[in-house]
Structure 1
Amino acid sequence: MIIRRYLVKQVVSTSLVVVTLLTVIMMGGQLIKRFGQAAMGRIDPSILFSIIGYRLPEFLTLILPLGFFIGLMLVFGRLYVDHEMAVLNGSGVSRIQLARLLIPLTVIYLCVQSVLMIWISPWGLRQYEQLISTQAVKTGFDSVRPREFISAGMYTIYAGSLSEDRKNLKDVFVYKRAEKEGRPDEIILAKEATRIEIANDSASVVDLIQGRRYEIYQNSAKYSQAEFQTWRLRIESDKEAKFDSGEVEALSFGKLLENKNDPVVQSELGWRIFVPFTMIVALMLATALCEVSPRQGRYLKLFPALLIFASLIVALMAIKTRVSKDEVGMWAYLAVLLVYAIAAALFSRKQKLAPKIKKHIQRVRS
């Protein structure tokens, strides 16, 4: 029990430090990217940290398994370097027995990863998509500069001039990209535009005055034209967001089950169900690859081990692509996990197998 508490404390503290460091690095890169978009007028600076917060669970789904694996490698490596493993082995405790003591902790990490992947990460993505769609046009008009084209979501906006309070624009051009294939793009030209503020309404509303509206079909000479005296452009946030097959990462688990016959949905469903079990494979791989001599240092095998664990994640991503193309079934995820688990089990037994194989070879030669 004392050994288990000691190991759990070391693994949790080390893995949390690694996860925090990797999160800061990844989120820092995202924050710099978003600051650049805000400077270009593509998003509202006031929603920067909301965007980062909603995307955080998505990043944690990849960072947490990696942090747990690195934590295991560092803790086991330190046990070898500080001769603690030799003392434990002399007391009759092998590294496989130490790994068994960490099974409850691994199950906890597995449950946390499952909650992140099945519920929290999709919820964050839905909130992120809703936030971006709500702010797209509003941000575009907030950041309009005279005689410059500003892109905001599906819209491109141009104004010849604007008032100091930014509510009245002159010589307005608005281009709206089609949301779905087969639908027309829209071009609106107006002499003037006035922004309308409506209380308790999250929609972005603009009254366009004296202009023309064109509907243009891609790869076709077909178009339609309409003149108007006043045209109200209204964009509402989609609270009940509906996502097509290309946006399944944001679908709730229940909706995935409802459309489980779709190959793309199957790929996402298998990803959420089986990827958390990489925690168990991480424990097995760390147990198999952690052995080092005190002179070598605990970092010697860290990089090769990271490459092996990264190859597991890459293999699962490749399976996700194959399943989405209906080339393999969803159970291919399980096959990949089993292959790595079996390989890890064989590596763990190499100390017992190597002397037997060596004796067998000598016996054959004699």
Structure 2
Amino acid sequence: MLRIFSRYLLQEVGFWVIVLTGIVLLVLAGGIFGRLLAAAGSGELSPEVLGRLILFTLPEQLALALPIALLLGIIFGVGRLYRDHEAFALAGSGVGPGHYLRPLLALALALAIPVGALSLVVAPWTARQALVLRESGEQEASLSLLQPGRFLSFQGGEAVFYAEKADRGTGRLEDVLIRFRQDDQDVLVRARRGWTRRTADGARELVLEDGWRYDGVPGQAAYRIAHFETHVARYRLPQMLPKVGKRSLQPLAQLVRAGSAADWAEIHRRLAAPVSLPVFVLLALPLARSSPRRRSNGLLWAVLAYVVFGNLLGIGKTALEQQVVPAWFGLWWVHLIVAGLGAALLIYQNGHTLRWPSRLSWFGMRS
């Protein structure tokens, strides 16, 4: 019977974990996907690069989505057993909290393996690949300036570029026309020659020679006209992916070899995803429980606990980076607090006391 119950419980919770993983993944990655699609729609990104960039964002988002999906999946799956009074019938047959814990902890440990691989190894590698692709896309967008006879739009349509002639071999432009806004005024620049270059801070510059600049407000006669020998116009291509820190890109082995406080903070940040899975099992199981005559607010408490958990991880990571706490202490205290809270709730809900017979049979405590 217990084996049948374990399979039934895993099917119920597993269904919700799969559904919620997809939902959370869409929420986490939706903003990135939207920016990528917008960039592809405006011609600033090729469809081939778009597909690879989307794939490269998935591992990190999936590593973040699975823990909260497991937390909420237990709330929905086990909570349904209580709402439909199945849990109370099972309790009368001797199925206690330990019979819930064993299969759910096994599920958490099974998920911890792929989540750990994603968080520790795969996500940093894909982030490095995405950075290379992004820089390649910026370079391609810069080279798009070398397309003669075509109007190009930048900065959401606020800037327009046109070159009558372009030489891809030398990067030289001829008969250049640029329109953009600066200080609430329209600026029109035309030049006989020009070329592009990249600065040390990542911006791009268009160097123009032998031209004229017109500054003013349309409809008003007060225009300023200036002739120049050399004129430099700075522009930035759209940021398609969120910027990632240098350490978040580094392989795990390189972080361990470096061994600084910030390196260990990054290692513990990556470890937080797989370690949180069994911790969330201990927290979610008591939150999913409800009485026969009263609905549970477990979902609200679970979301609140997840937010607090994330904030504590951020505080702990900052403390590690600033060497307020030693590296060996890591973020384990955050996991112990949440796990202890879940264990305390389990104890409170099941008689306020724990008995410790041989072979840890306390998992069968009454419900």
TM-score by length of 1: 0.71
2:63–2:273 CA contact under 8 A, matched in 1: no
Counterpart in the other structure of 1:161: 164
Verify: 1:121 aligned to 2:123, yes or no: yes
> CA shift at 1:86, angstroms?
0.6
Counterpart in the other structure of 1:236: none
- Gaps of at least 5 residues in structure 1 are 192-210, 215-244, 357-366
* Alpha-carbon spacing, 1:355–1:114, altered in 2? closer, same or farther (3 Å): closer
* Alpha-carbon spacing, 1:18–1:185, altered in 2? closer, same or farther (3 Å): closer
Counterpart in the other structure of 2:177: none
Q: Which deviates more from structure 2 when the two are superposed, residues 55-64 or residues 165-174?
A: 165-174
Amino acid aligned to 2:15: S
Counterpart in the other structure of 2:270: 272
TM-score by length of 2: 0.71
1:178–1:186 CA contact under 8 A, matched in 2: no
2:127–2:249 CA contact under 8 A, matched in 1: yes
Q: Which deviates more from structure 2 when the two are superposed, residues 4-13 or residues 136-145?
A: 136-145
2:150–2:163 CA contact under 8 A, matched in 1: yes
Q: Within 2, Cα distance between the matches of 1:168 and 1:44?
A: 24
* Alpha-carbon spacing, 1:165–1:116, altered in 2? closer, same or farther (3 Å): same
1:270–1:333 CA contact under 8 A, matched in 2: yes
Amino acid aligned to 2:318: T
Q: Which deviates more from structure 2 when the two are superposed, residues 322-331 or residues 309-318?
A: 322-331
Per the alignment, in what secondary structure is the counterpart of residue 246 of structure 2?
helix
Verify: 1:307 aligned to 2:304, yes or no: yes
Counterpart in the other structure of 1:316: 313
The structure showing larger relative contact order (alpha-carbon pairs under 8 Å, at least 6 residues apart) is 2
Q: Number of matched residues?
A: 300
The equivalences for 1:174-193 within 5 A come to 174-179=196-201, 188-189=207-208
Per the alignment, in what secondary structure is the counterpart of residue 331 of structure 2?
helix
1:62-117 per-position Cα deviation (integer Å, ceiling 9, x unaligned): 11100011111111101101111111111111123311232221110111210111
- Gaps of at least 5 residues in structure 2 are 175-192, 211-228, 233-243, 355-367
Which of 12, 15, 25 matches 2:27? 25
> CA shift at 1:36, angstroms?
2.5
1:31–1:48 CA contact under 8 A, matched in 2: no
Counterpart in the other structure of 1:333: 331
Q: Which deviates more from structure 2 when the two are superposed, residues 3-12 or residues 77-86?
A: 3-12
1:54–1:124 CA contact under 8 A, matched in 2: yes
Q: Which deviates more from structure 2 when the two are superposed, residues 162-171 or residues 54-63?
A: 162-171
Q: Within 2, Cα distance between the matches of 1:279 and 1:173?
A: 54
1:81–1:295 CA contact under 8 A, matched in 2: no
Amino acid aligned to 1:17: V
Verify: 1:138 aligned to 2:136, yes or no: no
Q: Within 2, Cα distance between the matches of 1:259 and 1:354?
A: 47
Aligned residues: percent identity? 23
Verify: 1:256 aligned to 2:255, yes or no: yes
Amino acid aligned to 1:76: V
1:158–1:174 CA contact under 8 A, matched in 2: no
Amino acid aligned to 2:324: E
Verify: 1:172 aligned to 2:175, yes or no: no
> CA shift at 1:42, angstroms?
4.5
